[in-house]
A and B are shown apart, each in its own frame.
Chain A
């Protein structure tokens, strides 16, 4: 930033941009993520996903559909959306809830840095939840992915965590306007279980749901994860990872545009923090 009040261009990120991105993002995560204390984090972000994995593995066995690996990979990757969807919704919408949105938007800080900085801790949290899920599945359910594909599997998990974060950013931005965004976040979290091929093979779903799945996060990442876990590396899973990344970028872009739109309309109406 060259002068007081002048906003740094995101195309020429200076120290200010990175400081807001990294330190601001970390502070906002610590302030706004409900489940950050061990008393909240362990039951909600580690124990509940573990039980989710077990529940669906046993449901699959009862119904005689898919293998244990099908449900383990689907659920282990899907649980990153807990951080992505709920975490990002909290990281953006809670500013409004706690009445701190106006002061933040009154600062000259780069909006892109403010916005993206909130996503990084959430992305890391989602990634580690996924890894924990795979670890627990290996210990309890005897899940063994193909060792040679592990680096690519981790890449698929990372990209899916990022795309879920983008999706969560969009929901969080909607929360700048909608009164009860957590209701939408809850529905989104459970809907992806059905729509994105997490628990039900995609070809079993009706055509409209299959079409919807293509533009939602998780679908391509899980498809890639299943191929890689089965030892079927190569171009097919890489294409899926690329598609997952593309979906994430699209959701992230839509989220940023929504954020700026609501900022501008909030300035006009003078109603950033109206609940």
Chain B
């Protein structure tokens, strides 16, 4: 790599980091995102925990708290990625973002990682809720691997969000997709319902989605299992999403430029 090219490549982490920081700041002040990241997961956690208490007590409360936390991260990714690009399209800032010298994929990565990070609120909120309201014993068997699992889960969901966001750039009814894909991913990835209860045909889909491995890693770390394999799968999924995202963003960026769908005019 030549001098200017190397200098440009060295600036890429900075582009992602600042994008992540500004997105985090903006989303943390959005009422809708806070509702999605805090209120909604608490309602779903309460439903699951109340059903557990009314039912067979087959699974511990902490199981549901962790699942509901990742549900919140997924929701923030689904709505945040689509919402962020749609908002920029409404504001007319999507075109400049695509036109700046920095690769658009890095700009998008900062946005999606920042959005996924806001989802960590939901994890904190559901764990606190489980402890305070449902008197759950919230103690992690391996807090270090739990933290590592949480960070990797956020990164992998953020990168998965980047893959989805690439379609949101092209599709003007992207919010409809967001509305539709929230529940199916919650269901097939075993966030609140064990995979063993779901039909066998849904399992390959679950294994391709990062929330499955994220929640498995967190539950194993919390309950004293073996979180490393799930963490490894989460890492592998992140690398796959990154590669797929870079390719997809390039393709859709070219198509959007050609079809002139970067704004509403």
Task: Give A residues with C-beta under 8 Å from B.
Answer: 35, 37, 39-40, 42-44, 47-48, 51-52, 54-55, 58-66, 180, 182-183, 186-187, 190-191, 193-194, 199-201, 204-205
- Are B183 and A55 in contact, CB atoms less than 8 angstroms apart? yes
Task: Tell me the smallest distance from the CB of B238 to a CB of chain A, in Å.
Answer: 26
Contact with A along B45-78 (1 / 0, CB 8 A): 0111011111110110000000000000000000
- Are A190 and B43 in contact, CB atoms less than 8 angstroms apart? yes
- Are A199 and B56 in contact, CB atoms less than 8 angstroms apart? no
- Are B50 and A204 in contact, CB atoms less than 8 angstroms apart? yes
Stretch touching chain A among B94-102, B116-124, B193-201: B193-201
B187 within 8 A of A: yes
- Are B58 and A62 in contact, CB atoms less than 8 angstroms apart? yes
- Are A58 and B39 in contact, CB atoms less than 8 angstroms apart? no
Q: A62-B194, A183-B32 are in contact. Are A39 and B51 (CB under 8 A)?
A: no
- Name the 4 nearest CB pairs between A and B, nearest first: A64-B56, A65-B55, A51-B183, A64-B55
- Are A60 and B51 in contact, CB atoms less than 8 angstroms apart? yes
| Closest residue on chain B to residue A37 by CB atoms | B173
Give A54 to B186 CA distance when docked, in angstroms.
11
Give A39 to B180 CA distance when docked, in angstroms.
11
Cβ–Cβ < 8 Å partners of B56 in chain A: 63-65
- Are B187 and A193 in contact, CB atoms less than 8 angstroms apart? no
- Are B43 and A48 in contact, CB atoms less than 8 angstroms apart? no
Give A5 to B53 CA distance when docked, in angstroms.
61
**B contacts with A, residue count (CB < 8 A):** 36
Count: A-B pairs, CB below 8 Å: 104
- Are B176 and A35 in contact, CB atoms less than 8 angstroms apart? yes
For A200, give its contact among B31, B51, B187, B192 (CB under 8 Å).
B51
- Are A194 and B176 in contact, CB atoms less than 8 angstroms apart? no
Q: A62-B58, A62-B192, A63-B48 are in contact. Are A204 and B180 (CB under 8 A)?
A: no
Taking CB atoms and an 8 Å cut-off, the chain B residues in 175-224 that contact chain A are: 175-177, 179-180, 182-184, 186-187, 192-194, 197-198
Task: Tell me the smallest distance from the CB of B36 to a CB of chain A, in Å.
Answer: 8
Interface of A is mostly: helix
Give A205 to B46 CA distance when docked, in angstroms.
10
Interface of B is mostly: helix
Give A182 to B182 CA distance when docked, in angstroms.
18
Give A197 to B192 CA distance when docked, in angstroms.
19
Task: Tell me the smallest distance from the CB of B154 to a CB of chain A, in Å.
Answer: 23
Task: Pick the most buried of A35, A51, A201: most chain B CB atoms within 10 A of its CB.
Answer: A51
- Are A180 and B31 in contact, CB atoms less than 8 angstroms apart? yes
- Are A63 and B43 in contact, CB atoms less than 8 angstroms apart? no
Taking CB atoms and an 8 Å cut-off, the chain B residues in 9-52 that contact chain A are: 31-32, 35-36, 39-40, 43-44, 46-48, 50-52
Can you list 25 A-B pairs, Cβ within 8 angstroms, ordered by A?
A35-B176, A37-B173, A43-B173, A43-B176, A43-B177, A43-B180, A48-B180, A48-B182, A51-B183, A54-B187, A55-B192, A59-B47, A59-B48, A62-B58, A62-B59, A62-B197, A63-B55, A66-B51, A186-B35, A190-B40, A194-B50, A199-B47, A199-B51, A200-B50, A200-B54
- Are B50 and A48 in contact, CB atoms less than 8 angstroms apart? no
Task: Tell me the smallest distance from the CB of B219 to a CB of chain A, in Å.
Answer: 14
- Are B39 and A190 in contact, CB atoms less than 8 angstroms apart? yes
Task: Tell me the smallest distance from the CB of A262 to a CB of chain B, in Å.
Answer: 21
Task: Tell me the smallest distance from the CB of B90 to a CB of chain A, in Å.
Answer: 13
Q: A59-B51, A60-B51, A193-B47 are in contact. Are A43 and B179 (CB under 8 A)?
A: yes
Cβ–Cβ < 8 Å partners of A44 in chain B: 176, 179-180
- Are B51 and A63 in contact, CB atoms less than 8 angstroms apart? yes
For B54, give its contact among A40, A62, A204 (CB under 8 Å).
A204
Task: Tell me the smallest distance from the CB of B44 to a CB of chain A, in Å.
Answer: 8
Cβ–Cβ < 8 Å partners of A39 in chain B: 173, 176
For B39, give its contact among A47, A64, A187, A205 (CB under 8 Å).
A187
- Given A55-B183, A190-B39, A194-B50: 7 more A-B contacts, CB < 8 Å: A40-B175, A43-B177, A47-B180, A63-B52, A186-B35, A190-B43, A194-B46
Cβ–Cβ < 8 Å partners of B51 in chain A: 59-60, 63, 65-66, 199-200
